[in-house]
Structure 1
Amino acid sequence: MNLTVQSLLQSGVELTDAALERLLPSPDTLPHSIHRAMRHSTFAGGKRLRPILCMEAARMVSGEPGIPEGAADLGAALEMLHTYSLIHDDLPALDNDDLRRGKPTCHVLFGDAIAILAGDALQTLAFQTIASLASPPATTVAILSEVALAVGTGVGANSPLPPGMIGGQVVDIESEGKPPTAELVESIHRAKTGALITVSIVAGGLYGSQTKPSSDTITRLRTFGEKAGLAFQIVDDVLDMTQNSAQLGKTAGKDTASIKATWPAIYGIERSLHDARELIADAFAALAPFGPAANPLKSLANYLVERTH
């Protein structure tokens, strides 16, 4: 990892964790069980990629040298949504995983009921946090709309966007055990993982602009997010097949054991890594008009395909 990316990740983690510490109820807040469960999963580690991408997109669009004030709260809200999805994803009724980020999953420590409620509470706190942002009302509403679409199923939204995270999770569950196809794998990845990564960048851009950005700007941010998000999940699929549980911080090999629809299952590992690199090149092209201001986001995108865990 080069020093630029290391610095971006470290400062981003610090900003995000400070915001999460301030926004989440303390472990001594009643009822203790739910707040301790929320904090266990939120502070169990993780790269904080989504909030970091959000903050860097806000910085790029704002044209200022630093992260815009309040952008860390938006990033923290996105991390809450990501953590909620992981808590639910690990439940026995879904992926039935005992390990996440190298630590026991939420339901292992607190039981299924509290884990479900902890995920629900993180989701609602995320939207409360976004609604409280110090941004113009129209910007806040636009961010809320984008995020709601990204985490939902897409049904009845009258949106040109594909179904979001929950919709992708449903398709992923219902496709287990079935022969994967290229179309199925791409649709799952773009929704289940890619939607939240994409909206992190779009929401950050909206926040950084503080006024309605041009449609070209939003299109470019969305393209970057979609390409980088798909590349991220392709690499995740490869790592599941090539790394052990200690390296991953979660149970390795589950995708193969469950006959999950993954990129390497269709194309093999070498082609998968080639596709990920091509996607990142396309993502870079989308940010060309932003010039050097886009370099931090580009460095992070490179990290997504070069990481080993």
Structure 2
Amino acid sequence: MPPAADFIGDLLPKIAAALDAASQPQPGCPARLGEAMRYSLLAPGKRLRPALVLMAAEACGGAIEAAMPAAVAVEMVHAYSLIHDDLPAMDDDDLRRGRPTCHVQFGEATAILAGDALLARAFEGMVEGFTARELPAERIVEAVRCLSRAAGPTALVGGQADDLATSGEETAPPNQLDHLESIHRRKTGALFAASLDLGAIAVAANAAQRAALGYYAESMGLAFQIVDDLLDHQGSADEVGKRTGKDLERGKLTFPGLLGVEPSRQRATQLIDEAIHSAALFGAAGERLIDLAQFVLQRSR
């Protein structure tokens, strides 16, 4: 299976240029705050979420440029979530994407504010970008609703809250597997699903296309988290780009900890097969989605 750059390589420079443009210093923004925002947003990364936005637009027969405002917004929300997740009060990580985390580099207060600012800027920039492209107002509202729901208390934030609540618990949830999947369908999967739906919204995809993307996201997002747990369980910090073994240290509920390594791999494989089946609806236009699903199963960081 080729690396991600082989099948989204043409998208990555466009995403990088858009992120750079969207995070240029703004009048009135304190210099150190702006520096912290760019440090986290432009840090080396896979860019899977913004790529998903563009790939969904492409799969639905639209132009990827039409979806770029949403791609930038999704990556800003993702960067904000990583800044906050890494804080000492949360996951307490000092390494992210092979570099010191934002709070290590800039201090906790600036890191918190940088995350806050990226979250707000995500919506501002998406509305500005879609307005400039003359997207109908009702679809702009739908896009804002989609991303805000994915970033909110019933999805990304709620999943993180439950994940923190289960760390080191003496009393396990009644059905641990259901509880663990529920956490990660929100903490990780919700933003994957929003990324795909935003791409579809941007190009006026039909109901069948959006439903297929939703099924794809549900399977692929959970598989991504299972592989992430396996990398934390078995990988090295040099390979993964962040400190590994920390979930076990903190008593967090993980897939390999609950199911074992091999059953976790089998579950991830099953989910990827389901994702590929969903992507088949798009024919040749969905080839990137299939390549991405296969990449997720075999990634090493």
Q: TM-score range by the shorter chain?
A: over 0.9
The question of 1:78 aligning with 2:88 is answered: no
| 1:182-212 Cα distance to aligned partner (Å, 9 max, x none) | 1111011101011001110111111122xxx
- Are the structure 2 counterparts of residues 244 and 29 from structure 1 closer, same or farther at C-alpha, using a change threshold of 3 Å? farther
2:64 and 2:98 map into 1 onto residues whose CA distance is 32
Aligned match for 1:215, one of 207, 210, 218: 207
Give the C-alpha shift of residue 26 in structure 1.
3.0
1:239 and 1:200 map into 2 onto residues whose CA distance is 24
Q: Which position in structure 2 is the counterpart of 1:196?
A: 191
* Contact kept in structure 1, 2:55 and 2:64, CA below 8 Å: no
RMSD: 1.6
The question of 1:175 aligning with 2:166 is answered: yes
Give the C-alpha shift of residue 249 in structure 1.
0.6
Aligned match for 1:297, one of 286, 289, 295: 289
Which residue identity lines up with residue 26 of structure 1 in the other structure? P
2:40 and 2:34 map into 1 onto residues whose CA distance is 10
Give the C-alpha shift of residue 72 in structure 1.
2.3
The question of 1:280 aligning with 2:276 is answered: no
| 1:278-299 Cα distance to aligned partner (Å, 9 max, x none) | 1111112223321111111110
1:234 and 1:303 map into 2 onto residues whose CA distance is 13
* Contact kept in structure 2, 1:184 and 1:261, CA below 8 Å: no
* Contact kept in structure 1, 2:67 and 2:198, CA below 8 Å: no
| 1:147-171 Cα distance to aligned partner (Å, 9 max, x none) | 1111101xxxxxxxxx210000100
| 1:87-126 Cα distance to aligned partner (Å, 9 max, x none) | 0000011011111001011111111111000000000010
* Contact kept in structure 2, 1:12 and 1:48, CA below 8 Å: no
Q: Normalising by structure 2, what TM-score?
A: 0.93
Give the C-alpha shift of residue 35 in structure 1.
0.2
Moved over 6 A (4+): none
Tell me the SS of whatever aligns to 2:10. Answer: helix
Q: Which position in structure 2 is the counterpart of 1:306?
A: 298
Corresponding pairs, count: 293
The question of 1:114 aligning with 2:113 is answered: no
Q: Which position in structure 2 is the counterpart of 1:57?
A: 56
| 1:261-281 Cα distance to aligned partner (Å, 9 max, x none) | 111111111111111111111
Q: Which position in structure 1 is the counterpart of 2:225?
A: 233
* Contact kept in structure 2, 1:287 and 1:294, CA below 8 Å: yes
The question of 1:130 aligning with 2:122 is answered: no
* Contact kept in structure 2, 1:147 and 1:199, CA below 8 Å: yes
1:87 and 1:30 map into 2 onto residues whose CA distance is 19
Q: Which position in structure 1 is the counterpart of 2:64?
A: 68
The question of 1:99 aligning with 2:91 is answered: no
* Contact kept in structure 2, 1:12 and 1:51, CA below 8 Å: no
Q: Which position in structure 1 is the counterpart of 2:256?
A: 264
1:100 and 1:69 map into 2 onto residues whose CA distance is 29
